[in-house]
Amino acid sequence: MAEGPIVKLSDVWKVYLVGKVEYPALKGVSMEVERGEFLCITGASGSGKSTLLNVMGALDRPTKGEVFFENIPLSRLSSDKLAELRNRRIGFVFQTFNLLNHLTVVENVELPMIALGIPPKKRRERAIEILSKFLSHTVIYKRPLELSGGEQQRVAIARALANDPDVILADEPTGNLDSYNAHLIAKIFKELRDEGKTIVMVTHNIELTDYADRIAKLRDGQIVEIIKR
Give pLDDT tens digits for 107-150.
Answer: 999 999 998 999 999 999 999 999 999 999 899 999 999 999 99
| pLDDT at residue number 212 | 96
CB-count burial class (<10 Å; 0-12, 13-18, 19+) for 122? exposed
pLDDT per position as a tens digit, 171-186: 999 998 999 999 999 9
What does pTM read for this prediction? 0.94
The domain spans of the chain are: 35-59+82-228
- Across the beta sheet with 72-73, what order do the strands follow? 21-33, 7-18, 64-69, 72-73
Q: How confident is the model at residue 4 (pLDDT cuts 50, 70, 90)?
A: confident
Q: Which fold has domain 35-59+82-228?
A: Rossmann fold (3.40.50)
C-beta neighbour count of 206 within 10 angstroms? 10
Distance of alpha carbon 165 from alpha carbon 88, whole angstroms:
6
Helix (H) or strand (E) run with residue 107 in it: helix 105-114
